[in-house]
Amino acid sequence: MNLFDLSGRVAVITGSSRGIGRAIAERFAEHGAKVAISSRKLDACGEVADAINARHGAGRAIAVAANISSKEALHRLVDEATAQLGPIDLLVCNAAANPYYGPMAGISDEQFRKVLDNNILSNHWLIGMVAPGMCERRRGSIVIVSSIGGLRGSGILGAYCISKAADLQLARNLAVEYGPYGVRVNCIAPGLIRTDFARALWEDPELLAQRTATTPLRRIGEPDEIAGAAVFLASPASTFMTGQVIVVDGGVTVA
C-alpha cells in the first residue's frame, strides 16, 4: 500500500482558489483524491477546478463558491460536494480572515468579531456538518490550517494569533470527541508563506529582512511546502496521529 495514496477519497478544501489552499487541492488530486474547490468567488474556483481536471481527468475537481462567514453557504458547499463527488472523507479548513494589523488597543469590536467568526466559528460550523458522516463511516481526516501565530504573541497580529491558538485547541478537543469513531483532527501551523493573504508582511522589506534573518532556513516558505504536510495528515501515513499540530516554519519557532 502506498502510504500517501488518496485514491477514492473526497476532499473539501476552503480557501482553495489560491495560495496554500490551492496547493493542497492540487496535491490531493495528484495523490488520487476528488476535490471540491471553494472560496468566495466562483470564477476563481472554476479556474482551479478546470486546471485540475485538465491534468488529472474530468470529474476530479468541482468548484463551489462559499463565504465561510455564512452558515447557509457552508451547508450548500457540503451538500454540493456530497451530491457531485460522494461522501466527504477529507476536510481542510484553510480559509481565514485578518482585517486588522496593529496593536490590540486599536482593533474595533467589528474587526475582532470578524476574525473570531471567520477563523474559529466557521471551522466549528463546517466540521460539525461533515464529521457526523465521517463518524458513521468510521473514517475521516480533518485538517485545520492554523499558524505559528497561535504559538506565540505578536504586536501587530494579536486577534489573528488568538484565533489561531483557539484553532489548535479546537483540534485537540474534537480529536478527543471523534477519536472513538476513527476520525482524526489535526492542525498545520505555517510560518510566513508567500501568499496573497500574507502579502503585507513579505512585501515589506524591513519585516521580510527581520524574518529571514531569524529563520534558520533564511527564507520564507512557499504554498506547496504546506501541501506536503496536508497530504501526510490526510493519508494512511498518519493514521495514528490526532489532536496534534505540525509546525512548518523554516525553524522560526526553535531559533
Catalytic residue annotation: 160
Task: Name the burial class of residue 32, with classes exposed (0-12), middle (13-18) and buried (19+) by CB atoms within 10 angstroms of its CB.
Answer: middle
Q: What DSSP designation does 157 have?
A: B
Selection from 47, 72, 84 nearest residue 122 by Cα: 72
37 phi, psi to nearest 5 deg:
-90, 130
Q: Can you spell out the DSSP letters for 185-232?
A: EEEEEE-SBSSSTTHHHHTSHHHHHHHHHTSTTSS-B-THHHHHHHHH
- All three cell numbers of 63, joined, read 468548484
